[in-house]
Structure 1
């Protein structure tokens, strides 16, 4: 499965992430060469309108990034990525970005050399040195000028989305009336539960600990409570007495909502009945003995429309922009001549194709066709 399309603001320059991990796509855990790395950097992989060429380096970089995003979305999961599908789906995504960039240029949007240099400077700043960036760029198969051209495409895509699509979406779909309608149709979204700013001291005791140990730890936490009641700051006592890692923060747990599942049943009722500034009695649980302090309490409330209006508009706009972009891409696919150069000479036949199966579906639409790889 390919990571979802990146139509959100600032999401187009995926190649920048690929540069940071340029070595990633060169091999596999079992030592095999990846299919991605077999695509020549200078080989054309897509040609639009007979003259706009998407080179293999762009496809390689974005495919590496997409694979990383997939793995990051499911950390700890043993994934077997279908590289053939990864490459083909990435090529479709890359083509969509380029189609919108070309349409932006046709409509008169431009990118200045300074804008490209500014984006490039932001990218270089992610590296330890300019030299390291240049080495990674070279390893990815790009020259500085080719990377500048790639950035121009990214910025044209951004401008098309922000200067052409977003204003239209905000006017048609994300105005005050639409936001009010969404607010009234989803009343429970704006309910905030009771929340408390919680601090905690724990004296850990194993469940099978002898009674003498339990009594020793109970006395110790009772003495800690007496120190707090006598005026010693809760945070200082937590640092010296608590066996939980929150002791480094003076026992601070943070803001906890009443509907949380983070708290043990034994302590939930105690915590949410505490008045601000009051220290709880000693609470026993399977973990040991606890003290709690509530510094601040925020009661249940229903957030008014004016408070959430802008958030609602942004939520509506984000989804509407995605839909509008896909509509415009579909129209461009029908209008423009899109040629996909065959990748099989570099990556081989997909196993099911070699056995007579179907090739991955193209972008569809008039003009989209697959051509032999360039010699």
Structure 2
């Protein structure tokens, strides 16, 4: 029973970000069905030959409990949540241990598929080369003067005057941008000379994005207004859209393909295992 209760808690949080007691009737029915399925899978997996000899790393359960505790403001809230779900620390520990063992068995089964080698990864790369397009990126710095009517220095009229004075100074001496950012910008990036970094389209406020991607490398913008205040931008460099080379993606691609193969093989094994034991098929 503790496994069912634990999986109800896990499913309620995962599906609806609620404790089981806060669920609507329809939500509760779905959570109970998912929990029953998890419980069935747990029993089948841990009874399989592949589960023999599987052990958890030292401290794995304690780490999992600590992560759950960390979601609550204090120990009292954690304890109340467990009680509301029909669990205590002992039953939670037991349920977590079994849950983690299921994951460990699935990892063991998946590992039997082996790693994807360089040849397989390279074939995948050239067959799907369009997936490896890197969008245009621009290295940008900015100076921000916020608008806040509660503060005299940040009232709209004053803020506008301040940023335009900075803009005037920079038009005369553009090399002073980083110095002016450190002195006047109200963004944390001021500490690094206003550096926002390499930005693809769609990352900044729309008003800033539209201006930045019309600028030339080294160009200083006019004053740009966003919902938080007034900005000056400097486009330091332009990295054009390009296709990443195989060498750039090889390591991460091999890892990704290996993980995908492992998951597929583990799901295939679980499907067959459930067919043999109950005639049911896992579809996801």
Residues 219-254 of structure 1, C-alpha deviations (whole Å, 9 max, x = no match): 7544312333443623146526xxxxxx45435544
Between the aligned partners of 1:142 and 1:58, the Cα distance in structure 2 is 7
CA contact (8 A) 1:98 1:153 kept: no
What's the counterpart of residue 275 of structure 2?
334
CA contact (8 A) 2:139 2:236 kept: yes
CA contact (8 A) 1:224 1:237 kept: no
Between the aligned partners of 2:260 and 2:133, the Cα distance in structure 1 is 23
Q: Give the alignment of 1:1-375 within 5 angstroms.
A: 44=1, 55-68=3-16, 82-103=27-48, 106-111=51-56, 115-124=60-69, 127=72, 130=75, 132-165=77-110, 167-171=111-115, 174-201=116-143, 221-228=163-170, 229-230=172-173, 231=176, 233-236=179-182, 238-239=184-185, 247-250=187-190, 253-257=196-200, 263-264=206-207, 267-271=211-215, 273-275=216-218, 279-282=219-222, 291-336=232-277, 364=280
From the superposition, tell whether residues 58 and 224 of structure 1 become closer, same or farther in structure 2 (CA, over 3 Å): same
Residues 281-329 of structure 1, C-alpha deviations (whole Å, 9 max, x = no match): 5267898975311345444443222321232223323433332232222
What is the deviation of 1:196?
Answer: 1.7
Between the aligned partners of 2:225 and 2:185, the Cα distance in structure 1 is 21
What is the deviation of 1:61?
Answer: 1.0
Between the aligned partners of 1:261 and 1:329, the Cα distance in structure 2 is 45
What is the deviation of 1:156?
Answer: 1.2
Q: Structure 2: any 5+ residue segments left out of the alignment?
A: 19-23, 148-155
* Number of equivalent positions: 259
CA contact (8 A) 1:199 1:295 kept: yes
TM-score by length of 2: 0.69
Of Structure 1 and Structure 2, the greater helix share is in 2
Between the aligned partners of 1:311 and 1:158, the Cα distance in structure 2 is 23
SS of the aligned residue for 2:48 comes to helix
Between the aligned partners of 2:135 and 2:51, the Cα distance in structure 1 is 51
What is the deviation of 1:157?
Answer: 1.6
Between the aligned partners of 1:200 and 1:192, the Cα distance in structure 2 is 24
Residues 187-220 of structure 1, C-alpha deviations (whole Å, 9 max, x = no match): 1222323322223346899xxxxxxxx9998875
Q: Root-mean-square deviation (CA), in Å? A: 4.1
What is the deviation of 1:184?
Answer: 0.7
Between the aligned partners of 1:112 and 1:203, the Cα distance in structure 2 is 51
From the superposition, tell whether residues 119 and 204 of structure 1 become closer, same or farther in structure 2 (CA, over 3 Å): closer
SS of the aligned residue for 2:112 comes to helix
SS of the aligned residue for 2:53 comes to coil
What is the deviation of 1:111?
Answer: 3.8
Between the aligned partners of 1:215 and 1:106, the Cα distance in structure 2 is 70
From the superposition, tell whether residues 320 and 81 of structure 1 become closer, same or farther in structure 2 (CA, over 3 Å): farther
Residues 122-141 of structure 1, C-alpha deviations (whole Å, 9 max, x = no match): 54455555565444333321
From the superposition, tell whether residues 121 and 83 of structure 1 become closer, same or farther in structure 2 (CA, over 3 Å): closer
What is the deviation of 1:258?
Answer: 5.1
Q: Structure 1: any 5+ residue segments left out of the alignment?
A: 1-43, 45-53, 71-78, 206-213, 241-246, 338-362, 366-375
